[in-house]
Structure 1
């Protein structure tokens, strides 16, 4: 169950990242409020997951999933650059998070 909570926390972290992009430096109220609320919700769920997961594993997975998600959405939604090196780095993050998951058990 802790991993499901951690994944939820990571997905909310992705929402936070998107909201902060749309907030344009805190100049847009609604995305700014969504970003703050998502940040609080994400950290709350992370702390719940950390009850049963090692802190380092939980934090690395949380940031890794969030990083991959916002990077992919940046490419899709904002035209962020795509290169084989970026794709390779994304793949390495995914492998690392999966490794932490299976080594943790």
Structure 2
């Protein structure tokens, strides 16, 4: 169960990162509210998951999911460039996250 919560928390990290961008420096109410709620839920889920998962593994997986998710949203929905080096680097992050899970 801790791993499921950790993955959901990583996805919520993507949500709050995108909402932070869309808040325009906290000048827009709805994205700012989404940021705050997603941030709290993401951190709470991470904290809960770390009761069973070592902090080094849990934090790295959480950050990896959030980083890859945010980069994908940027490339797919926000018009950021999709280049071969960026895609390769995202696959390397995914490989690292999978490796951490498998070695746990």
- Shorter-chain TM-score: what band? over 0.9
Aligned to 2:91: 91
- Per-residue deviation, 1:25: 1.2
Post-superposition Cα deviations, 1:51-104, rounded to whole Å, max 9, x if no partner, equal 000000000000000100010000011111111110010000000000000001
* Whole-angstrom CA distance in 2 between matches of 1:68 and 1:13: 10
- Which runs of no fewer than 5 residues in structure 1 stay unpaired? none
TM-score (norm 1): 0.96
- Which runs of no fewer than 5 residues in structure 2 stay unpaired? none
Aligned to 1:8: 8
Equivalent residue runs for 1:3-42 within 5 Å: 3-42=3-42
Backbone CA RMSD of aligned residues: 0.7
Aligned residues: 104
* Runs of 4+ deviating beyond 4 Å: none
